[in-house]
Amino acid sequence: MRYRTLGRTGIKVSPVALGALMFATSVGNPDPDDSARIIHRALDAGINLIDTADAYGDSEEVVGRALRGRRERVVLATKVGRPTGDDPNAQGASRRWIVTALENSLRRLGTDHVDLYQLHRPDPDTDIEETLSVLSDLVRAGKVRAAGLCNTPAFGIVEAQWAARRRGLEPVHTEQLPYSLLSRGAERDVLPAAQRSGLGTLVWGPLGQGLLTGRVRRGGPNALRRADLFRHLRDERRLDAVERLLPLAEEAGLPLTHLAVAFTLTHPGVTSAIVGPRTMAHLDDLLAGADVALGDDVLDRIDEIVPPGSDVGTLDQAYVEPALRQPGLRRRPLAGRAAAGRGQK
């Protein structure tokens, strides 16, 4: 592994990180012992960054048990913010919840600190200074080594950095975002903003959440079986792009999985790509392509299929700004619109 520096933290991380969602027994591998073997295989191969979250079922417990005796060589990352139950205060980025959530995560992970603590998604109900204030306290208390953001638009990255400087708070050091052959929208603003701010970037979904494995094809049995679970697996635009990428990978002499991961790591703004194997075979395939480098001819062909800065459809799990989901947030009240209308000629 040729390790990379995570933003300005000085922490060295592997270019491929191990995502732990598939180690949750309720959604991924039902055998925690098998998951532990996968984790140990990844560590033995040189992967040193493991990313989980409090909202990933029992993933933190599975990871914690697997890391007994090996914790000191692991850059351990987890996240907070997504709902973990029906309590409206057991989510978000308030001081009240973050303090409680971190203690819960540390207990489940069996450690006294995490190396990277990330806000799972923006919280429009909490002032960013409030969030940065509690994260700063946790860093100074030694329970968190560095703080980061996830799924944050470019303006949110800039706002967080500006607020930290204005208040003398600990800055965020990372951004975790979706990025793949099919999801290149981050090239327009989020990746440049992260680069300008000196953030390390962890990209999730480099395999298009299954579409870029080569196992999901138009009309194939896998697509039919999983389409009810994930809408993006039946998105005709995404399926069309995959059918064009498959022969390109074949011409390059690569499995589509290797092409996909190598593409994300080619961008100079990307620090590490998070892969989420469910089985040992999945991990071994990804490890075999860890050192693949793509030439300009292949990258030019990719640009023809999915233009830079563009997204092919959307991921089911991608964060969407509230104003894009709720019409009331982008429309004036009716009375205000009527008053404005009377002034028009």
Span 324-329, mean pLDDT? 84
56 is catalytic: yes
Can you name the residues that pair with 72 across neighbouring β-strands? none
CA distances from 280 to 41, 58, 118, 212, 259 (A): 8, 19, 27, 18, 20
pLDDT at 218: 66
Span 20-28, mean pLDDT? 94
pLDDT at 227: 46
Model confidence pLDDT, tens digit, residues 177-224? 999 999 999 999 999 999 999 999 999 999 998 889 877 766 665 544
- R_g of the chain computed on alpha carbons: 21
Span 141-166, mean pLDDT? 97
CA distances from 306 to 86, 262, 299, 310 (A): 40, 16, 10, 7
Three-state DSSP state, 230: coil
pLDDT at 327: 86
Q: Is 246 exposed, middle or buried (0-12, 13-18, 19+ CB in 10 A)?
A: middle
Q: How many residues does the chain have?
A: 345
Is the pLDDT assigned to residue 74 strictly greater than 50? yes
Can you name the residues that pair with 119 across neighbouring β-strands? 80, 149
The superfamily CATH assigns to domain 4-319 is: NADP-dependent oxidoreductase domain (3.20.20.100)
Is the pLDDT assigned to residue 295 strictly greater than 60? yes
pTM: 0.91
Catalytic residue (one of 56, 117, 179, 319): 56
Is the pLDDT assigned to residue 226 strictly greater than 60? no
| Mean pLDDT computed over every residue of the chain | 92
Structural domain boundaries in the chain: 4-319
Site of tokens 């090996």? 70
Q: How confident is the model at residue 345 (pLDDT cuts 50, 70, 90)?
A: very low
pLDDT at 225: 46
Say how many Å lie between the first and final Cα of the chain, rounded.
66
Question: Are 31 and 95 in contact, with CB atoms under 8 Å apart?
Answer: no
CA distances from 129 to 121, 169, 253 (A): 15, 8, 50
